[in-house]
């Protein structure tokens, strides 16, 4: 039977996490449809139709769907599930918000943040902040799954699936959108970036965080991240937070500056390909997971690193 | 306005979970247990609503073994008025937990359910959303600000890329994120006072029973460990390694 992927997008652009979720879905079934639920999403749907392996793209449009309201999304997705044996969506704040609702509506157990598909009923997922991996087998006829996108390769482009509109559902009669503050940035998105430069509590102030972390990130074309301590102290906005309770990243290169390496931070970045740690405390736990370490005050190390990168032609 | 706060007893936040050698789960024998940190934030927010005169009663509910009374006692010491323990040694799945809580909500008739966004053991991040769906109440997850006014609640949510603010009609379910507040430490007099507050001990059967789970845990294993790499002398050496050895820049 077919499976449904609910696309991750901001009404303007399709996110790479969708392609990664399609890869997870193709491990369950060769019939994968993608639902793009939002507002003014023709461009997003056209992109989704190009993902290789996608059979059909469904579109649903309403104001509430465009605002990613959980009640509206679940009310749109649940009635479609007659035709699917599973629904998968990336474990973003949107996905985590609506997917369990769909599970409750179908009276099934949700399966959160899968890292691996063993077979159509069996999945691996992290528990205890990633300190343990749980293999679970579902006995439900229909599965509702969120996918940790960094654990899957992105499905290629090259498809040309047909696009078909479906019922957007009743919306969210008891929930009203008030406002949104989305940080605009020219830097790559944290979750999908190839290089991430993160700063920790050692920065000491928001000004210092900007002054030290951002130029290095820009030199490397990297996204900017932060530890929970730095976010809690107000040095960086909350959506910069890398960790079990923030964003989970797995870039090619992760540079941790002035971050000690608390368990909850490591859980958010330890699957990075190469980890660099810069910290003046040689005993900081971050060095236990770092491929390359510089035991040095960031005030010295970061300018030196900028210089060495310039010398190396970056 | 009555506020219901579900709380969970979990491994203490500062204890590193260790996988049992037979891969049946995580070793919880002789491990310090505490209230789930996100639940603590929810209790704090409910108590603040009470102190502002918005909430008239805060009821803490927990589902778990008899020791979960201590978790409820912590909530009572923080300022909740009474507790309900649904005693079970089973480790119910999020769907079952949500069903029991929905039954509690029907019996208690709160205007607001404030709870943690996830428990730090199962990391499912699901019960609040499922409870909202089962009750047919609106939801606001990952809250960093909660303002009740009359028959509505305005919630600022931490979402990818920034913040979103929603207004919900009450009754509603709100789940707490890390930055909603900083939970207080209970004072000694309040801890003593909490000992005299009531905890009703119930069973799952009092709230519709506990169905068989839908998920079978095949095994619990340790994640691949990273090996510590090398410490380098200077930035130039680091750039050279990143270029030639790792090939990432």
3-state helix, strand, coil in chain B (%, to 5): 30, 30, 40
A166 CB within 8 Å of a chain B CB:
no
User: pLDDT tens digits, residue range B127-169?
Assistant: 999 999 999 999 999 999 999 999 999 999 999 888 999 999 9
Structure ipTM? 0.95
| pLDDT tens sequence across A156-194 | 999 999 999 999 999 999 999 999 998 778 899 898 899
CATH number of the domain that residue A132 is part of: 3.40.50.620
Boundary-marking domain end, from A165, A198, A219: A165
Q: Would you state the pLDDT for residue B212? A: 85
Residue A218, number of CB atoms within 10 A of its CB? 13
Domain count, chain A: 2
The whole-number pLDDT of residue A270 equals 92
Residues in B closer than 8 angstroms to A231, CB to CB, are: 179
A281 lies in the same domain as A137: no
Long-range contacts of B90-94 (CB under 8 A, 24+ apart): B90/B204, B90/B210, B92/B63, B92/B204, B92/B210, B92/B213, B93/A109, B93/B213, B93/B214, B93/B215, B94/A100, B94/A109, B94/A110, B94/B122, B94/B124, B94/B126, B94/B127, B94/B130
Cα A98 from chain centre: 15
Cα B181 to the center of its chain, rounded Å: 14
Nearest-neighbour CA in chain B from A289: distance (Å):
5
**A255 and A134 inside one domain:** no
Instruction: Calculate how close chain A gets to B131, using CA atoms only, in Å.
Output: 8
Q: What is the DSSP letter of A239?
A: G
| Across A9-13, A180-184, B37-41, least confident range | A180-184
A171 in any annotated domain: no
CA distance to A92, A102, B95, per residue, from A120 (Å): 22, 19, 21
Helix count and strand count (H, E) for chain B: 6, 13
Task: Please indicate, yes or no, whether residues A226 and A289 belong to a single structural domain of this protein.
Answer: yes
**Distance (Å, rounded) from C-alpha A107 to C-alpha B153?**
28
- Is residue A304 located within the same domain as residue A215? yes
In a domain, A175, yes or no: no
Residue A180 lies inside a defined structural domain of this protein: no
Question: Does residue A58 form part of some domain?
Answer: yes
A136 and chain B in contact, CB less than 8 A: yes
- Domain B2-224 belongs to what topology? Rossmann fold (3.40.50)
Residues A198 and A161 in one domain: no
Chain B touched by A299 (CB under 8 Å): no
Examine residue A178 and state whether it is found in any structural domain, yes or no. Answer: no
pLDDT tens by residue, A238-277: 889 999 778 889 999 999 999 999 988 998 999 999 999 9
- CATH code, A236: 3.40.50.1220
Pair B193, B75: CB distance under 8 Å: no
Residue that finishes a domain, picked among A149, A165, A181: A165
* Host domain of residue A287: 190-311
Interchain CB contact of A135 with B (< 8 Å): yes
Question: Is B127 in contact with A100 (Cβ distance < 8 A)?
Answer: yes
């Amino acid at each position: 039977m077919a499976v449904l992927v609910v696309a991750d997008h901001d009404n303007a652009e399709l996110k790479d996490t969708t392609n990664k979720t399609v890869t997870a879905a193709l491990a369950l079934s060769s019939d994968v449809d993608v639902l793009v639920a939002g507002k003014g999403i023709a461009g997003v749907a056209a992109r989704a139709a190009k993902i290789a392996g996608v059979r059909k793209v469904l579109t649903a449009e309403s104001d509430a769907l465009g605002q990613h309201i959980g009640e509206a999304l679940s009310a749109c997705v649940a009635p479609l599930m007659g035709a699917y044996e599973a629904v998968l969506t990336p474990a973003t704040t949107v996905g985590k918000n609506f997917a369990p609702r769909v599970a409750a509506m179908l009276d099934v157990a949700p399966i959160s943040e899968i890292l691996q598909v063993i077979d159509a009923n069996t999945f691996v997922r992290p528990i205890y902040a990633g300190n343990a991996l749980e293999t679970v087998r579902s006995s439900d006829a229909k599965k509702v799954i969120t996918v940790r996108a960094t654990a899957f390769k992105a499905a290629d482009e090259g498809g040309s699936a047909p696009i078909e509109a479906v019922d957007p559902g009743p919306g969210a009669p008891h929930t009203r959108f008030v406002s949104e503050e989305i940080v605009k940035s020219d830097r790559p998105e944290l979750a999908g970036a190839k290089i991430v430069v993160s700063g920790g509590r050692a920065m000491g102030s928001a000004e210092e965080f900007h002054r030290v972390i951002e130029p290095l990130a820009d030199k490397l074309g990297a996204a900017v991240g932060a530890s929970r301590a730095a976010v809690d102290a107000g040095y960086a906005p909350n959506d910069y937070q890398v960790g079990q309770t923030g964003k989970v990243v797995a870039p090619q290169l992760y540079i941790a500056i002035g971050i000690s390496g608390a368990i909850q931070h490591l859980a958010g970045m330890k699957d990075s390909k190469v980890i660099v740690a810069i910290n003046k405390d040689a005993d900081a736990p971050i060095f236990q997971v770092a491929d390359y370490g510089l035991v040095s005050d960031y005030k010295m190390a970061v300018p030196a690193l900028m210089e060495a990168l310039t010398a190396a032609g970056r | 306005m009555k506020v219901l706060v579900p709380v969970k007893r979990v491994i203490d936040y500062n204890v590193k979970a260790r996988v049992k050698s037979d891969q049946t789960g995580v070793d919880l024998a002789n491990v310090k247990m505490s209230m789930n940190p996100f639940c603590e934030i929810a209790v704090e927010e409910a108590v603040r609503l009470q102190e502002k005169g918005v909430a008239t009663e805060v009821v803490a509910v927990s589902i778990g073994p008899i020791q979960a009374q201590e978790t409820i006692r912590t909530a009572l010491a923080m300022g909740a008025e009474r507790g309900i323990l649904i005693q079970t040694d089973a480790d119910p799945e999020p769907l079952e937990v949500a069903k029991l809580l929905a039954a509690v909500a029907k019996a208690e008739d709160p205007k607001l359910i404030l709870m943690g966004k996830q428990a730090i053991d199962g990391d499912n991040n699901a019960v609040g959303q499922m409870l909202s769906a089962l009750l047919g109440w609106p939801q606001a997850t990952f809250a960093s600000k909660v303002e009740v006014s009359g028959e509505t609640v305005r919630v600022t949510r931490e979402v990818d890329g920034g913040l979103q603010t929603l207004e919900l009609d009450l009754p509603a379910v709100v789940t707490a994120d890390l930055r909603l507040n900083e939970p207080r430490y209970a004072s000694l007099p309040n801890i003593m006072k909490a000992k005299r507050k009531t905890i009703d001990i119930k069973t799952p059967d009092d709230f519709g029973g506990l169905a068989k789970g839908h998920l079978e845990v095949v095994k619990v294993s340790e994640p691949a460990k990273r090996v510590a790499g090398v410490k380098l002398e200077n930035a130039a050496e680091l750039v050279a390694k990143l270029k030639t050895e790792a090939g990432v820049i």
